[in-house]
Chains A and B, each alone.
Chain A
């Protein structure tokens, strides 16, 4: 369970988040919605431990997150959280294979699960792309690779920042289906920022920023 309590965040005196409180239960497909510039991504980044709030508290299960402890937040990002970004954020010159296994540069090799890898490669249709460098892939292919990289460590939380924003409808539907599937079958918490209403039926719970 993730609990955010009175989270505040400002950028250069511009208050982006004001006393945001929410609770996300394990295994929930959770959406954060709202108009552009309302602070959706900022909240998501704080929940994903990529950014630090100015004030407020964040709990992962019962652990109060100490954002000043960079080693601990890095550890939680590596073990508990997987990220899927709108801009994919792949390493362009590395192959698909190297991109997917990039987290294991920082993790013990014993945490690598061959079955999970095989399942992801097959499920995301990445077999024929494994040796290609990431920068030659299409948008849909890049996002599938990003999804594989996010899931290869078997994280409990998957953070998605508008992952369908650069995809066509078919690819977007495929990705949403996949995320819904892992949320249900593997009881993973998926937190997604989106401004689209097209996939509202996928979400179990939604936090909406008022305009």
Chain B
């Protein structure tokens, strides 16, 4: 049965529509990634409502390929403009930009493209192999275990916040609070709905997402539209790298892909962490470190292989447990929810065909990326010249259309704009909206499974200790909270001192 779902997923991807969706998605991702200031997350949030009218497979293929395309597209601006198109391409700037100054822009882009392709492909295959292993555990996951998963997911909030933990916790708590709007699933009592029937089923998390991620970015673009534009370097040499060059870079790319997958697996860490990690490791393993920072191809290959490998890695916990590993995977999870699929361990059993369609789409999106990248990388340079004001207007228009399309409701357009303004304020205050999204997703899961567990366990809290899986997950959660506190650092210090004394 297992293999038949895998094949159904494969055949779902292999239709003319879906292949077109994959190529279109990668191309769009390439352009969005190339534009400095636009992130893959924002593009995904905007495209999400447009996929509602599509077939499930087509919609998911398009979103997955957009994600993959944007992961590579970020390197174009990094190499040519010295501005990373996406945060995860920041490490690529170090060696990519010097290469383009030396007239090797084409070579740098070519290496970036091939590294992205290899990283993405390996992680896609890893996803395909790992998913069924985790999927076989599904029946083991009842309310008690789900509660433990949700608690673990919530503890990620602290690490998702870049910079201040307090800001991250604030954003996460707001998300949890907003998730309580709507009918209580255990008692049926409407909460915080102000007798407004539009709020009875809660605040759609896609509405919040579009507002939080897209509107602030559009407003920021408008603010900076008077800044002098940077001029992109020209591509003068050939794009396709020599086989011998690829051969020497291969161990580096494989190592970086591995790093990308593992970093992706850890919820709360994403492409930016992985690319710096891979860059540092590439430097450490290199025999001749002198070229790094001055245009060493290895310094381009490592971060690019890693940030594309994150895609597959981050999807493993998303698919197997329903915990999104990053804000981008949170949106992919949202895409599944829109199709009536609840996040959770049964993604692989009850909705196996859809889930495997997503997995295959990730793999084929990387193949599509190679084709699209070879053909359109040169054209994408033009995208960086579009005035920011135009892009901002287009984004806001798409936000409004998108928010309306979710439930055909004008009320939700207003709600989206409200979240947009709140998100703008968050951005000004230096608070990341990502923890809020995690809170919105996991809040109902945690609350529900808590109520169910208490019903099943006759109001005895010890029920949570009755399941080995739940105990392990809760211990990890405790550890993840402790390691962020001074107590932990103090403990390590104490241990170190003792070993030094001994």
- To the question of whether A and B form a pair in one complex, the answer is no
